[in-house]
């Protein structure tokens, strides 16, 4: 089974930390995510390009450019996950057009894949970073 890259969950983790912590540096985030700081810098660059964070040069640190209640999981997903063509699924290239399946599979499958992507995006759009942070707090409180 193909998986969506872990960049998405690392980006959500990163933005959650930034939204609840003061002076959130790349090293601090990398320690929490348990990954290399280089990976966090790459993700932070994507989040900055998407207009979700501001990164302070020099000493470092980052802050959100919008309130957590206005950032959805879909915003984060789009910042780090989608390819240039904005499609979650890719159809393999150059099927054998001499075969009836190869000749028609892309057209038939494309509709199903577009519906699946729309359902995923609709679900991600329903959850804000703030709501996710609230659930993290609830989980922590119930420990």
Read off the pLDDT of each residue in 4-21 and give the average, rounded to a whole number: 91
| Angstrom distance (rounded) from CA 54 to CA 4 | 26
pTM value is 0.84
| DSSP tally for the chain: helices H, then strands E | 6, 2
Please, are residues 16 and 135 in contact by the beta-carbon 8 Å criterion? no
Is 131 a domain residue? yes
Please, are residues 60 and 26 in contact by the beta-carbon 8 Å criterion? yes
Is 41 a domain residue? yes
Is 26 a domain residue? yes
Is 107 a domain residue? yes
Structural domain count of the chain: 1
Is 48 a domain residue? yes
CATH number at residue 108: 1.10.10.10
pLDDT for the residue 84: 54
**Alpha-carbon dihedral angle through residues 42, 47, 51, 56, given to the nearest 10 degrees:** -60
Specify the DSSP element, H or E, that contains 62: strand 62-64
Tell me the residue range of the domain where 127 lies.
Answer: 7-136
Is 143 a domain residue? no
Please, are residues 43 and 11 in contact by the beta-carbon 8 Å criterion? yes
Q: What is the pLDDT of residues 89-115, one digit of tens each?
A: 777 888 898 999 999 998 899 889 889
């Amino acid at each position: 089974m193909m998986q969506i890259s872990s960049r998405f969950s690392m980006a959500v983790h990163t933005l959650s930390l930034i939204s609840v912590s003061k002076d959130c540096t790349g090293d601090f985030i990398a320690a929490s995510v348990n990954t290399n700081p280089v990976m966090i810098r790459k993700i932070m660059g994507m989040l900055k390009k998407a207009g979700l964070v501001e990164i302070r040069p020099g000493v470092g640190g980052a802050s959100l450019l919008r309130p957590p209640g206005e950032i959805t999981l879909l915003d984060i997903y789009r910042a780090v996950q989608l390819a240039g063509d904005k499609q979650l699924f890719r159809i393999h290239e150059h099927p054998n057009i001499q075969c009836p399946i190869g000749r028609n599979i892309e057209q038939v499958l494309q509709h199903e894949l577009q519906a699946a992507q729309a359902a995923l995006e609709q679900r991600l759009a329903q959850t804000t970073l703030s709501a996710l942070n609230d659930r993290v707090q609830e989980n922590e409180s119930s420990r």
